[in-house]
A and B are shown apart, each in its own frame.
Chain A
């Protein structure tokens, strides 16, 4: 490493297309699982509010799942999904996302004040219409809070997938380490952090559009 600068800008300039490709792969393997997690968390969360007895055991299971080291889970899946496939990395990431999103979904659905719920019923809303028009919109701030945590951790965890052959930007860490060449590693860290930052900003924007009241409420609450 003697005399090697931390960043060789020329290398970055020469590899822009390559970095862009890795960034896109990274976005897919880290964010699609979050969407899958959300798609599973909504019905499961509804079930849990309908049958409250389900929630405690499910929450306990996902608490344990969330604590499993990602590398170990990737490895355990290899016999079923194969080395260096997207599924090996995406299935565990979807489980982590679900583990974060289930409690926030349940909290969100439970956050509707009882008088509001009753008012909706009194106005003639059936259970489905009440869900779509009252309960889900009220849950949006909670869902976004959960999605922010889930998306950002998913983006940073996906790079560990490089050790099992599919990690998007994580490949830059392996590449740089094997060649004792810090530039790709620095580029990888910066791009992962940027992707996380942009995703976070998009989620905040989504909350603004879907639940404009939430921003004001948090400020008042503090």
Chain B
């Protein structure tokens, strides 16, 4: 057996093309779970991060929080959440959001905090109110940092959503976990390859977005 035959076994299986175990369906499940987790994390963390960054409060706390969040083992959080709340998307969403939110919080906070102070002063000087300064000056300035944070969070959620297949969720992790459980190595390997492709595609998407993220006024200063 070699890579080529393993992968061709996996990709030519009719189950991969139709039905609940098809690649399209699994990719869809993976993307929906990732999207839900990221969406929730954005709603929870970004406004708070922007506000904290603008006021300059609790910056040390925010940094400590991300350090602590990084130390939490994802597999442990996912298994515990399912034992406590039962199998389902909601149970797994909690740890996924808990992982993504601190990353976004720090990105928003640091991005706004890094705004050129002269720019902020000038904006105040021409009569902008604080909310206007935040929205029209600091948020555009923070956009690249926010996107970088979003990229890190997305990649992390995609990886953790793979692990979540262990507790019975759908997504591409299904192939990996089912293959390991049934000693069906082609399936495990094919699933792993698809996860890698999805992660790389996400990276490329964000690299492309990044080109448009910087406001025109800040390019080539």
Residues of A within 8 A of B (CB): 1, 63-64, 67-73, 75-76, 78-79, 148-149, 152-153, 155-156, 159-160, 162-164, 167, 169-170, 172-174, 176-177, 180, 182, 185-186, 188-189, 192-193, 196-197, 200
Given the known interface contacts A68-B196, A72-B192, A72-B195, the answer about A182 and B83 at a Cβ–Cβ threshold of 8 Å is yes
Residues in A whose Cβ lies below 8 Å from that of B195: 69, 71-72
Instruction: State A189–B72 Cα separation when bound (angstroms).
Output: 7
Contact B192 A152 (CB under 8 A): no
Residues in B whose Cβ lies below 8 Å from that of A64: 200, 203
Given the known interface contacts A152-B70, A200-B67, the answer about A75 and B188 at a Cβ–Cβ threshold of 8 Å is yes
Contact B159 A75 (CB under 8 A): no
Select which of A67, A155, A167, A186 is within 8 A of B155 by beta carbon: A67
Instruction: State A79–B163 Cα separation when bound (angstroms).
Output: 20
Contact A185 B76 (CB under 8 A): yes
Contact B199 A67 (CB under 8 A): yes
Instruction: State A159–B166 Cα separation when bound (angstroms).
Output: 13
The residue of chain B having its C-beta at the shortest distance from the C-beta of A167 within the complex is B75
B125 contacts A by Cβ under 8 Å: no
Of B9-17, B39-47, B129-137, B172-180, the segment with at least 4 beta carbons within 8 Å of chain A is: B172-180
Contact A173 B73 (CB under 8 A): yes
Closest chain-A Cβ to B30's Cβ sits at a distance in Å of 11
Q: Tell me the B160-188 residues at the A interface (CB within 8 Å).
A: 162-163, 166-167, 173, 176-177, 180, 185, 188
Interface size on B, residues (CB 8 A): 39
Contact A71 B173 (CB under 8 A): yes
Residues in B whose Cβ lies below 8 Å from that of A79: 3, 185, 189
Contact A156 B74 (CB under 8 A): yes
Residues of B within 8 A of A (CB): 3, 67-68, 70-77, 79-80, 82-84, 155, 158-159, 162-163, 166-167, 173, 176-177, 180, 185, 188-189, 191-193, 195-196, 199-200, 202-203
Instruction: State A152–B78 Cα separation when bound (angstroms).
Output: 19
26 contacts between A and B (CB under 8 A): A64-B200, A67-B202, A68-B199, A69-B196, A71-B163, A71-B195, A73-B192, A73-B196, A75-B188, A75-B191, A76-B192, A149-B70, A152-B70, A152-B71, A159-B74, A159-B76, A160-B74, A160-B163, A173-B73, A173-B79, A174-B75, A176-B79, A177-B167, A192-B71, A193-B72, A200-B67
Instruction: State A159–B76 Cα separation when bound (angstroms).
Output: 8
Residues in A whose Cβ lies below 8 Å from that of B79: 173-174, 176-177, 185
Residues in A whose Cβ lies below 8 Å from that of B192: 71-73, 75-76
Contact B76 A173 (CB under 8 A): yes
Contact A188 B193 (CB under 8 A): no
Contact B173 A156 (CB under 8 A): no
Residues in B whose Cβ lies below 8 Å from that of A155: 71
Instruction: State A172–B79 Cα separation when bound (angstroms).
Output: 10
The CB with the most chain B CB atoms within 10 A, among A69, A149, A155, A172, is that of A69
Closest chain-A Cβ to B166's Cβ sits at a distance in Å of 6
The CB with the most chain A CB atoms within 10 A, among B71, B74, B191, is that of B71
Select which of A71, A148, A182 is within 8 A of B162 by beta carbon: A71
Contact B159 A71 (CB under 8 A): yes
Residues in A whose Cβ lies below 8 Å from that of B189: 75-76, 79
The CB with the most chain B CB atoms within 10 A, among A160, A174, A176, A180, is that of A160
Residues in A whose Cβ lies below 8 Å from that of B203: 63-64, 67
